[in-house]
Amino acid sequence: QVQLEQSGAEVKKPGASVKVSCKASGYSFTSYDLNWVRQAPGQGLEWMGWMNPYSGNTGYAEQFQGRVTFTSDNAITTAYMELNNLRSDDTAMYYCAVRGWYMVRGVNYYFDNWGQGTLVTVSA
Amino acid sequence: DIQLTQSPSSLSASVGDRVTITCRASQTINTYLNWYQQKAGKPPKLLIYAASNLQSGVPSRFSGSGSGTDFTLTISSLQPEDFGTYHCRQSYSLPYSFGQGTKLDIK
C-alpha cells in the first residue's frame, strides 16, 4: 500500500534552514507529483507547492518563492523539502502528500495519501 | 488565485443528526474538489474526491455534491467518531488551495 514516511521533528533558530524528508513506498515514485502542505498550530492547511520526481519540475506557492526548494532522490524514492531563512511563523506541521489514479484489473482507483507530518519549531 | 470559503467555521451536532458543510469557490473549479477529515495530531484523510465520489473505505453516510463554485459535504446520520475538522481543497488550477476548515463537535 502507499506509504509516505517523514523525518522527525526539528527545532531551529530564526534564520536557519530545515530539510524535511519524505520516504515513499508502495507505488511508482516517479509517476506521480508530490505535494507539500503545512499547518500552523490551530490553523488551516496551506499548500506550499508540488514536485514531479521524474522530471524534477517544481511549482511553489507565491508566499514561499525564493525560500523553499523541493528535491528528490529517485534511487531511494525520497523527496525533500528545504525551507530557508526560517521565521517564528514557519512553526508548523509539514506534510508531504501524493494523489492520483491507478488501475487494477481494468478498474481505476483513486488514491490520496499523506505522510504523518513533521513538526518544525522555530524559536530563539 | 482561487479562494475557498467554508461555512460554518464550527458547529456542534448530536449523534444521528444530518450535518451539512459548504465550500464556495471564488471562481469556477468544475468538480475539482476534494473533502478531507482531520483529527487532532493526524494528517487529513480523504473522504470525497471530484466533488461527489466516495473514497474507498469511507462510510456511505458521507456524501458530496456540487459543481462550479458551490459544493456540499453531507453526513446523513452523525456518528460519535465523526468529530474533527473538515477541509475542502481545489485542484482545478495552481496554486491549489484549501478552505479554512470546519470544526465539528459532537454534543
Closest-CA residue of chain B to A109: B56
How far the first Cα of chain B sits from its last, in Å, is 37
DSSP B55-75: PTTS-TTEEEEEETTEEEEEE
A95 touches chain B (CB under 8 A): yes
Average pLDDT over residues B72-97: 97
Query: Are B89 and A45 an interchain contact pair (Cβ–Cβ within 8 Å)?
Result: yes
Closest-CA residue of chain B to A96: B43
A7-11, A106-110, B13-17, B21-25: lowest mean pLDDT where?
Answer: A106-110
Q: Determine the 3-state secondary structure of A48 from DSSP.
A: strand
Are the C-beta atoms of A22 and A6 separated by less than 8 Å? yes
pLDDT digits (tens, 9 = 90+) for A20-47: 999 999 999 999 999 999 999 999 999 9
Beta bridge partners of A18: A83
pLDDT digits (tens, 9 = 90+) for A67-114: 999 999 999 999 999 999 999 999 999 999 999 998 889 999 999 999
User: How much is the pLDDT for B70?
Assistant: 98
Please tell me the distance in Å from B22's CA to the nearest CA on chain A: 16
Residue B52: which pLDDT band, with cuts at 50, 70 and 90?
very high
A117 touches chain B (CB under 8 A): yes
User: How much is the pLDDT for A64?
Assistant: 97
Structure-block grid coordinates of residue A75: 534511487
User: How much is the pLDDT for B74?
Assistant: 98
User: How much is the pLDDT for B15?
Assistant: 96
Beta bridge partners of A119: A93
What percent of chain B shows pLDDT beyond 70? Answer: 100
Whole-number Cα distances in Å, B12 to A68, B8, B82, B84, B104: 38, 10, 11, 11, 6
Task: For residue A117, list chain B residues with Cβ-Cβ distance below 8 A.
Answer: 43
Structure-block grid coordinates of residue B36: 478531507
User: How much is the pLDDT for B96?
Assistant: 97
User: How much is the pLDDT for B65?
Assistant: 98
